[in-house]
Amino acid sequence: MLKKPTIVLNVKTYQEAIGKKALEIAKQMDQIAKQNSASLAIAVQPTDLRMIVEEVEIPVYAQHVDPIKPGSHTGWILPEAIKDTGAKGTLVNHSEHRLTLADIDECIRKAKAYGLETIVCTNNVQTSVAASELESDFVAIEPPELIGGDTSVTTANPEIVKDAVDAIRRVNSEVGILCGAGVKNGEDVAKAIELGTQGVLLASGVVKAKDKVRALNQLVRGLIE
Ligand code: G3P
């Protein structure tokens, strides 16, 4: 299981994180994780999963999974195929790729059946509670309006993080809670933890940074200091 507190980087489909470029970021994260004994994980495109899993020790996640069984489906992502790459888990649902609650439930069950960890991304307090009742390993609350922006959710809307933590803990004392959207540096990570989360899920703060190693090192300071 992903060690808490943690920083999970979702490289999305950014130009800066396709193929070898995603591998490069994963290797940088691997090194920084080792140097600082920090828990870092990366979620990459399905086409890059196996290549990256084979090159790094940090947990590698898929960005999406579909609630399907092997068989006659085209262009979907099979839980069993994610497992076969050696990935540790998968994101489930995202404001940029929404699933129904029934699909989220099915994805979590199927992922569990293959020993894959799940991070369900949610857009508000209510969906965060619903996701934690479905017993995912992590829930990551990300207000959609702040995704990709310059201001971290921990500054722009700390109340939503605090409210999500309180509401989730009323129904599930075990699930890991992350927050995301606009997270950029160690202060944002430290604030997220202060608000009761076990870390952050972020993308552009690292992927779009000119100096990714510097951005990662800054983030990690918020975990370890
Ligand atoms: O999945 C992470 C994400 O949606 C947050 O994106 O660019 O605001 O860190 P970003």
Taking residues 82-92, report their average pLDDT.
Answer: 98
- pLDDT (0 to 100) of residue 49: 98
Q: Concatenate the DSSP letters of all residues of the chain into one string.
A: ---SSEEEEE-TT-GGGSTHHHHHHHHHHHHHHHHHT-EEEEEE-GGGHHHHHTT-SS-EEES---S--SSS-SS---HHHHHHHT--EEEE-BTTB---HHHHHHHHHHHHHTT-EEEEEESSHHHHHHHHHTT-SEEEE--GGGTTSSS-HHHH-HHHHHHHHHHHHHH-SSSEEEEESS--SHHHHHHHHHTT-SEEEESHHHHT-SSHHHHHHHHHHHHH-
Residue located nearest, by CA, to atom 2 of ligand 1: 202
Q: Is the pLDDT of residue 153 over 90?
A: yes
Tell me what the pLDDT averaged over the chain comes to.
Answer: 97
- Catalytic-role residue among 64, 106, 117, 142: 142
97 labelled catalytic? no
pTM above threshold 0.95: yes
pLDDT at res. 225? 80
What is the mean predicted confidence (pLDDT) over 97-117? Answer: 97
Question: Which pLDDT score, from 0 to 100, does residue 52 have?
Answer: 98
Centre of ligand 1 to C-alpha 19, Å, is 19
Residue 171's pLDDT is what?
A: 97
| Interval 184-200: pLDDT, tens | 999 999 999 999 999 99
142 lines ligand 1 (CB under 6 A): yes
Is ligand 1 within 6 A of the CB of residue 141?
Answer: no
Question: Which of 94, 97, 106, 135 is the catalytic position?
Answer: 94
Across the range 124-151, mean pLDDT stands at 97
Ligand 1 pocket, 181 CB below 6 A?
A: yes
64 included as an active-site residue:
no
Report the nearest atom of ligand 1 relative to the CA of 205.
9
Centre of ligand 1 from the C-alpha of residue 16, in Å: 15
**Local confidence band at 224 (pLDDT 50, 70, 90 cut-offs):** confident
Ligand 1 centroid – CA 133 distance (Å): 23
- Does the domain at 6-224 match CATH 1.10.10.60? Answer given as no
Q: How confident is the model at residue 51 (pLDDT cuts 50, 70, 90)?
A: very high
Q: Is 48 in the pocket of ligand 1 (CB under 6 A)?
A: no
